[in-house]
Structure 1
Amino acid sequence: MSLFSNDLSKEPVFDGIGYEPSFFSRKAMVATKTDYSKKKYGDVNKDTRKKILVLCTEERYMTMKNGKKFSTGNHPVETLVPILHFEQAGFEVDFYTPTGGTVKFEMWAMPYEDEHIGKILEKYNTQFSNPHSLRNFIADASKAYVDYVAVFIPGGHGAMIGLPENNDVKELIKWVVAEDKYMLAICHGPAALLSAAYGVGEDEFPYKGYKINSFPDEMDMTLPESGYQPGEMPWLYGEKLKQLGIEILNKKIAGDCHVDRKLITADSPLAADKFGKLCVEELLACEKSKMNNG
């Protein structure tokens, strides 16, 4: 069957509440396996057991301009492949959502034939069902921040729901910047950075002048054509980031990543493996530097 066979429907699939991508768009954009390739890293983090805070969405549905709901969440490849690399390098991960609600995944994008993804899904099943509450974490910040060396915000359109205007996310980002920690974000994940400017002037936006790779607005505007989404986007996050002074380097997706100081970004699921490796290399180099200077 041709990749773009006319036999595949372009009609979005109704799940009872909202719509999942059409069979046509899934054939073109959703893989059954990832390109994860295991890599051996140094032993810098073995004794320190540093952690990475993974901030996920607890929202399932995005209401499009026409009122129809798009069934979304975090993209499983963008979430789990980088974590495979974090673990390989000795970093532990803790999952958070804004209020402790269940982590929502784009289940229609799950690479069910990938054994590595299957194992990590099983390992973190309890955390996905019962993640930590960011609200409680921020309220108890005096003792909660100690172990985290980075915050990781996975992609999927779900990253645009509930995170960009969340005051607790804003406080988390303020801590990342103040303590010179790493911020890791892939695909639509950078949408959450908008929270740092929520309720304040654009001059206070900490990532003004930074450059990133992310999922481009130009592509989001084309997705309804293939039935990936049931209607036009309600808003465009890239447009808002640009207004705050961020430069988005890409207009297409090609699996590209970018490091700008301690902000590491990537454009799509195509970049998940490369992104994970790049993040680990940067984090290990930073930890090694601290040890040598300590």
Structure 2
Amino acid sequence: MENGTNFSTGNHPVETYVPMLHMKDAGFKFDVATEHGSSVCFEMWAFPKKDENVNIFHEEMKEIMSKPKKLSEIASLNDYSAIFIPGGHGAMINLPFSKELGRLLHLAHDQSLPTVTLCHGPGALLSTAADGLGKDFVYKGYKIMCFTDKTDKFTPSVGYLPGAMPWKCQETLEEKGIQVLNSSESGKVYQDRELITGDSPDAANNLGILAAPILVEYANKYKM
């Protein structure tokens, strides 16, 4: 955090699993990749223990989540119908600065491959201009939904975070030319070209509903 406090974080389980369940029901399978191939970390305090579908899916995905690929191992996106980047504050740690993720997002952009993300996940879009990649930010002019800096500023006062965020997700995206449409979080989602975004965990179900048929359409058009 900005005050030097360490905070155990990761991906938000609702933001991860609920959209994936919609994609699974649409017939898709998943590869999971992290920057260094380390296991996926979740903000388990947010796990929906009473949601039977999420609990079953979590068990199904445990092995692949514990042994993901490295981003560098994915040479092309020819076998994929989407990139999905869930949120959680963990998405702001290394992904926005990852040359390997930036490389893949440039490929996705060039192929109009559906790119799905929500809450703090859109911060990872900054990787398209990561130091050393030598490329420009590709989402200038795009409109998105994401978690707002206003809410991030408020959350330490209620104990959600132990301090202020070390950098501002919304502000940094807007400085790069993205237009953030929401001023608060209410479960809204939005599609702008290949980019499909949601504003918060409350948007997880709506994001899956919006994204799944778009992925099916893309797969039928380009992967059949």
Q: Which residue of the partner structure matches residue 259 of structure 1?
A: 191
Q: Would you say the 8 A contact 1:257–1:267 is kept in 2?
A: yes
Q: Which residue of the partner structure matches residue 160 of structure 1?
A: 92
RMSD of equivalent CA atoms: 1.8
CA distance in 1, matches of 2:111, 2:206: 26
Question: How many residues end up aligned between the 2 structures?
Answer: 224
1:275 aligns with 2:212: no
How far is 1:109 from its partner? Answer: 0.5
1:130 aligns with 2:130: no
How far is 1:165 from its partner? Answer: 0.6
Q: Would you say the 8 A contact 1:202–1:244 is kept in 2?
A: no
Q: Would you say the 8 A contact 2:36–2:70 is kept in 1?
A: yes
Pick from 32, 38, 42: which aligns with 1:105? 42
CA distance in 1, matches of 2:62, 2:96: 26
- Residues 244-291 of structure 1 deviation map (CA, whole Å, 9 limit, x = unaligned): 100000110000000001100000111111100100121223334558
Q: Would you say the 8 A contact 2:77–2:104 is kept in 1?
A: no
The amino acid that maps onto 2:174 is K
Q: Which consecutive unaligned segments of at least 5 residues does structure 1 have? A: 1-63
The amino acid that maps onto 2:44 is M
Q: Would you say the 8 A contact 2:155–2:161 is kept in 1?
A: yes
CA distance in 2, matches of 1:200, 1:134: 16
Taking structure 1 as the reference length, the TM-score comes to 0.73
CA distance in 2, matches of 1:78, 1:171: 24
More strand by share: 1
After TM superposition, the structure 1 = structure 2 runs for residues 124-203 of structure 1, keeping only pairs within 5 Å, are 124-137=61-74, 141=75, 144-199=76-131
RCO higher in 1 or 2 (8 Å CA, sep ≥ 6)? Answer: 2
Q: Would you say the 8 A contact 1:185–1:266 is kept in 2?
A: yes
Taking every aligned residue pair, what percent have the same amino acid on both sides? 45
Cα distance, 1:71–1:269 mapped onto 2, change above 3 Å: same
CA distance in 1, matches of 2:137, 2:109: 11
More helix by share: 2
CA distance in 2, matches of 1:129, 1:203: 32
- Higher CA-based Rg: 1
The amino acid that maps onto 1:210 is Y
CA distance in 1, matches of 2:205, 2:5: 33
